[in-house]
Amino acid sequence: MSRAKPKLEALSFDEWMRLADEAIKLNASLSIEDLPELRWADWYREGLSPGAGATLALEER
């Protein structure tokens, strides 16, 4: 059984950041804390998924 994905509009910023951090850990063995200051809040407000935010973060590091 797969876990249901939460709807983007239902995610708080903290939940969104937690999911983005999980994606970064899975893909790069890093944490959000290991990355420079990025546009996390902008990406959240723009409606990007946590995975898309993680991808952008890794591209911009």
Per-residue pLDDT of the chain (61 residues; tens, 9 = 90+): 445 566 666 899 999 999 999 999 999 999 999 999 999 999 999 999 999 999 999 998 8
Q: CA-to-CA distance for 30 and 41, rounded, in angstroms? A: 19
For residue 4, is it within any domain? Answer: no
Q: By residue range, what is the domain housing residue 52?
A: 10-60
Q: What is the largest CA-CA distance in the chain?
A: 37
Asked whether 27 and 54 are in contact (CB, 8 A), the reply is: yes
> Quick check: is 30 in a domain?
yes
Domain count, the chain: 1
The answer to whether position 2 is within a domain reads no
Structure tokens at 39: 């546009």
Q: Is the pTM of this model over 0.75?
A: yes
What pLDDT was estimated at residue 60? Answer: 87
